[in-house]
Every structure is written in structure tokens, then in C-alpha cells.
Chain A
Amino acid sequence: DTEVTQTPKHLVMGMTNKKSLKCEQHMGHRAMYWYKQKAKKPPELMFVYSYEKLSINESVPSRFSPECPNSSLLNLHLHALQPEDSALYLCASSQDPTSEAFFGQGTRLTVV
């Protein structure tokens, strides 16, 4: 299995909702990442988990809350988002913190 699986593929949420994005990999990778990609822009790093510990937070607003329950799963909890948070959220994983990253298909989030 060489895939990074993200669910859901699409999500529409109101500004008062709480929702979660999920990411799963079964490649034994020990580093996992969240990236945010706005329309017609490159992806931008949000968080890095290394060996299930949060290692990098790129000054992301607290309305985004990451969680790594185990080495295969990565969640992104969303609360009180703004319309400008609408974007494609990409999860990635790498064998170790210095190896190349493999990306999932992304979750297209729309905040209304």
C-alpha cells in the first residue's frame, strides 16, 4: 500500500461548525504533514508531526487543531473557520523526517 488516504474528499461547513479532516497511511512512515493550498497557489506547510509528536507549527491560527492519535493517522480539527480558510487541504507522509513526502488527494473545504 503506497497511498495516503484523506477523508472526506469534499466538505462544506458553516462558520460555527466543528468538523475534522482525516488522513491515513499504512506505509510505516514516521513523519506526517498538513499543507494548505489556496486556488491557483502552491501548497503551504501548516504542521509537521514526527514520531507522533508535533514538531512544526507554521504559526497556524488556533481554529486549526492537529492531532496524531497513532503513527498511521493524522487529524485536523476545524472550529469557527472563516470563508478565507476555504482551500484544498493536503496531507503528506514521509518515511522519516528527511525523506521525500507522498501526498494524499486532498480535502476540498468550503466555508460558508
Chain B
Amino acid sequence: AQSVTQLGSHVSVSEGALVLLRCNYSSSVPPYLFWYVQYPNQGLQLLLKYTSAATLVKGINGFEAEFKKSETSFHLTKPSAHMSDAAEYFCAVSDRNSGYSTLTFGKGTMLLVSP
């Protein structure tokens, strides 16, 4: 079974600082990996995806993630945090073997941004 592990349930940064949210995956086949963001009382918004093309993936709102097979990682970064980035972030893996885009999510990381 495929799974993802997000290290750190909460990450705190200052506005303007680097954002680094960690995600490690477990998969017996090359995975499809995603980062979603969820604002309070909202649905999930797709930030970016990895589907075996370029290993460095650029997403919306200045976020990017790098797929590292040797480290089984897909960490999310942003060079400079903004107050509006405060939200819950979920890493997810898609089970390609199922033939469906069913997502298994990590437990989530709450990003807190202070002035």
C-alpha cells in the first residue's frame, strides 16, 4: 500500500522566511505525488503535482517541490513566506495501480506565519 508521511504537524515561520514542509512517501511503483492547501472551513486547492516528468515541480503562489527518489521525498518549499500562506498543507499520493486518482493523504502540516 502507498502512504505518505509528513514530518511536523505544525511549522512556524516569520513573514519573508523560507518555508519548508516535509513529505516522505512509500510506494512500490513510481508514484504520483501532490501537495494540496486547505484554508479554514474551505476545500482543498491543488498546489502542484509530480507525475514522473520533471523532478522539480513549480506550482501556484510561488511554491515548488522536488521529487528525490533516493530519499523518497517530495518536500514543499517557498523562498519567502507571506501571511496569506498560513493554512493546512497536505501531501498526497495517488494509487496508479488502482486505475483511479484516489488519494491517500498525509496527516497534514499547519503552517503558521508570524509578522
Query: Which of A11-19, A43-51, A61-69, A75-83 is the interface stretch?
Result: A43-51
Asked if residues B41 and A108 are in contact (CB atoms below 8 Å), the reply is yes
Shortest Cβ distance from residue A28 to the other chain B in the assembled complex, whole angstroms: 15
Residues on A with C-beta less than 8 A from B94 are 98, 100
The answer to the question of A94 belonging to the interface, with a C-beta cut-off of 8 Å to chain B, is yes
Number of chain A residues close to chain B: CB under 8 A: 28
Residues on B with C-beta less than 8 A from A42 are 90, 105-108
Total contacts A-B at CB 8 Å: 64
Which one of B32, B100, B101, B105 contacts A43 once the chains associate, using CB atoms below 8 Å?
B105
Residues on A with C-beta less than 8 A from B107 are 41-42
The answer to the question of A109 belonging to the interface, with a C-beta cut-off of 8 Å to chain B, is no
Asked if residues A45 and B44 are in contact (CB atoms below 8 Å), the reply is no
Asked if residues B44 and A98 are in contact (CB atoms below 8 Å), the reply is no
Asked if residues B43 and A101 are in contact (CB atoms below 8 Å), the reply is no
The answer to the question of B42 belonging to the interface, with a C-beta cut-off of 8 Å to chain A, is yes
Asked if residues A101 and B42 are in contact (CB atoms below 8 Å), the reply is no
Q: Who on chain B is nearest to A102 by CB?
A: B46
The answer to the question of B96 belonging to the interface, with a C-beta cut-off of 8 Å to chain A, is yes
Residues on B with C-beta less than 8 A from A43 are 44, 90, 103, 105
Beta-carbon contacts under 8 Å, B35-50 to A: 36, 41-46, 49
Asked if residues B101 and A105 are in contact (CB atoms below 8 Å), the reply is no
Report B56-91 CB contacts with A as 1/0, cut-off 8 Å: 000000000000000000000000000000000010
